[in-house]
Structures are given as structure tokens and as C-alpha cells.
């Protein structure tokens, strides 16, 4: 009966875990306003205007940025794109952009550089070989993983753990350019079963973190793998299963020992 109850609880927790483990996203689609985005950089005399336009985006509203010179400028993501972004490790970052006007100027390779600021420094990746064409919305995207950003897995993990700012360089054309920005998005992939610290590996580090927080942790980063806001033996079971090195309970050892002794006795009797 106890075994049956344990089984039912385990199945229930499994369902909760699956629900908890789904992919998530943070998105600015500018449906209702500028969502507190800002523009920084030298936008030159008479230029430098960030406007919210309620229609004509790549679906609904979008941000329009007017620049009149050759200096770089960046769109700055609001607070929801900052902080602990480890859940997005292995996911992607993307944005849609268009040149509403290229001002008949020559294209610049400054366009499309995404910069992550963190305590570890500033890390940039250029998502665009060339600026978007006039009149066409284009999606620019990058994987959010260590290899794409040229960092070691541990360095990348540290950066994603404390992102203080995300900037997108949007200067695309010399002189005047009017740029549209829409659908900026951080997308996660499903978490790896048993991965406590979010580095997409299941190893002894996860086990150590879980053990430290056993009986007192409440979050996934502390070892709550089934998403029921505690760190207990069910979470440990999930991790041990994932490690493929489940440590048998004392009772299981005893049963195995008894079975082995019985087998030895039987063989001796048969041999006699």
C-alpha cells in the first residue's frame, strides 16, 4: 500500500515537473506602447528620436528610431530583459527590424550588434551581415549558448546569471536612417531533466547543490526539480535517475543481498 502511494505521488510529481519544465519567453511586441525601451548614443543634430507607432509593425505596434548622422546608437531593453537569464541558456535571442528609410546612405556593418552587459564585462555578437532593406521586416536571431558567444561554458553561465543590460546597435546607414524595431524576444528551450544549475549538463555539481539545499530549498536553482517549491527526496530521485547512477536505498541493498545468499544456498544444495 505504501509502495502504491509512493508510486502515485511520484507520478503526480512527474506531471507537475513536466508542467514546470516548459519553455518560456520574454518578448516586447509593442502592442500597447514602447514598453519602457530607450535609445542611447549620439544621434546627431536634429535626429535621435524614439517614437512608438501603434500600427505598421511586423504585427501591430513597433518602435521607430530616427537618426541623422554616422554615430552608433543602441536600443536598450527594459528591466524584464535583465537579471538571471540562466533559464534561457541554450535558447535564443531575436528581434525584427526594418529600414523605414535608408536615407539613400551607404549601409554600415554596425547594425545588429547585440551586447550583453554583466559583472563579467561586456559581450557582443553581430547578428546581421548587413542592415535590413528598406521596407522589409527581417528577423535577426542568435542562439544563447557559450559557443556562439565565444565563451567557456562556465564564463557564459556567469554572464547569463546576472545580465545588467541588453543593447541592440541599430545604426544601419550613413547619415539619416529611420529604423523600425519589433518583436524582441528571449526564448528558452525545455530544461534538461535533472539540471539544477541550468548549465544544460547533469553532473555532480547539480547533486552537490541539491544536497546542500535538501529540506530547505524552494527554487529550481536550489534543486526543486519537480516544481513543488521544496527540495526533497523526490527531487533527489529525479536527479539520480537523470544521472543514471541512482544510489539504491538501504532496503534495496538488503533485498539484493538476501536474494544473492538464497541463490548461493540453492546452488550448493543442487551441487550436493
The footprint of Ca ion (CB under 5 A) covers 29-30, 57, 59-60, 62, 67, 177, 182, 195, 197, 199, 201, 206, 224, 226, 228, 230, 235
35 or 224: whose CB is closer to Ca ion? 224
201 or 212: whose CB is closer to Ca ion? 201
C-alpha dist (Å) from residue 196 to 48, 113, 191, 265: 44, 31, 9, 45
117 or 202: whose CB is closer to Ca ion? 202
3-class secondary-structure state, position 248: coil
165 or 230: whose CB is closer to Ca ion? 230
- The least distance separating Ca ion from the CB of residue 270, rounded to whole angstroms, comes to 49
Evaluated on CA atoms 29, 32, 36, 38, the torsion sign reads positive
Q: Cβ(126)–Cβ(167) under 8 Å?
A: no
What secondary structure letter does DSSP report for 149?
Answer: T
- The least distance separating Ca ion from the CB of residue 42, rounded to whole angstroms, comes to 10
3-class secondary-structure state, position 22: coil
The C-alpha atoms of residue 111 and residue 67 are separated, in whole angstroms, by 13
- The least distance separating Ca ion from the CB of residue 15, rounded to whole angstroms, comes to 13
Q: How far is CA 144 from the centre of its chain?
A: 7
201 or 256: whose CB is closer to Ca ion? 201
- The least distance separating Ca ion from the CB of residue 230, rounded to whole angstroms, comes to 5
- The least distance separating Ca ion from the CB of residue 127, rounded to whole angstroms, comes to 18
The C-alpha atoms of residue 84 and residue 152 are separated, in whole angstroms, by 18
87 or 177: whose CB is closer to Ca ion? 177
CB within 8 A of 7, min separation 6: which ones? none
Based on the number of CB atoms within 10 Å of its own CB, is 251 exposed (0-12), middle (13-18) or buried (19 or more)?
Answer: exposed
- The least distance separating Ca ion from the CB of residue 264, rounded to whole angstroms, comes to 41
Secondary structure (H, E, C), 35-52: CCCEEEECCCCCCCEEEE
Amino acid at each position: 500500500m505504501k509502495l502504491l502511494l509512493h508510486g502515485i505521488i511520484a507520478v503526480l510529481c512527474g506531471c507537475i515537473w513536466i508542467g514546470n519544465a516548459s519553455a518560456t519567453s520574454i518578448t516586447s511586441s509593442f502592442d500597447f506602447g514602447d514598453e519602457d525601451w530607450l535609445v542611447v548614443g549620439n544621434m546627431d543634430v536634429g535626429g535621435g528620436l524614439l517614437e512608438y507607432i501603434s500600427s505598421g509593425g511586423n504585427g501591430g505596434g513597433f518602435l521607430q528610431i530616427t537618426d541623422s548622422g554616422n554615430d552608433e546608437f543602441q536600443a536598450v531593453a527594459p528591466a524584464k530583459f535583465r537579471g538571471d537569464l540562466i533559464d534561457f541558456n541554450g535558447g535564443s535571442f531575436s528581434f525584427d527590424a526594418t529600414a523605414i528609410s535608408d536615407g539613400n546612405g551607404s549601409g554600415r556593418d554596425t547594425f545588429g550588434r547585440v551586447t550583453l552587459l554583466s559583472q563579467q564585462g561586456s559581450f557582443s555578437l553581430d547578428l546581421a551581415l548587413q542592415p535590413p532593406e528598406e521596407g522589409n521586416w527581417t528577423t535577426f536571431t542568435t542562439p544563447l549558448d557559450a559557443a556562439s558567444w565565444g565563451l567557456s561554458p562556465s564564463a557564459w553561465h556567469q554572464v547569463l546569471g546576472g545580465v545588467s543590460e541588453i543593447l541592440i546597435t541599430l545604426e544601419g546607414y550613413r547619415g539619416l536612417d529611420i529604423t523600425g524595431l519589433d518583436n524582441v524576444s528571449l526564448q528558452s528551450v525545455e530544461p534538461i531533466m535533472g539540471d539544477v544549475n541550468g548549465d544544460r549538463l547533469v553532473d555532480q555539481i547539480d547533486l552537490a547543490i541539491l544536497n546542500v539545499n535538501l529540506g530547505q530549498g524552494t527554487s529550481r536553482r536550489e534543486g526543486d526539480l519537480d516544481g513543488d517549491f521544496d527540495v526533497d527526496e523526490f527531487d533527489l530521485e529525479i536527479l539520480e535517475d537523470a544521472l543514471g547512477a541512482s544510489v539504491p536505498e538501504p532496503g534495496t541493498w538488503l533485498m539484493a543481498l538476501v536474494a544473492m545468499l538464497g541463490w548461493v544456498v540453492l546452488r550448493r544444495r543442487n551441487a550436493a
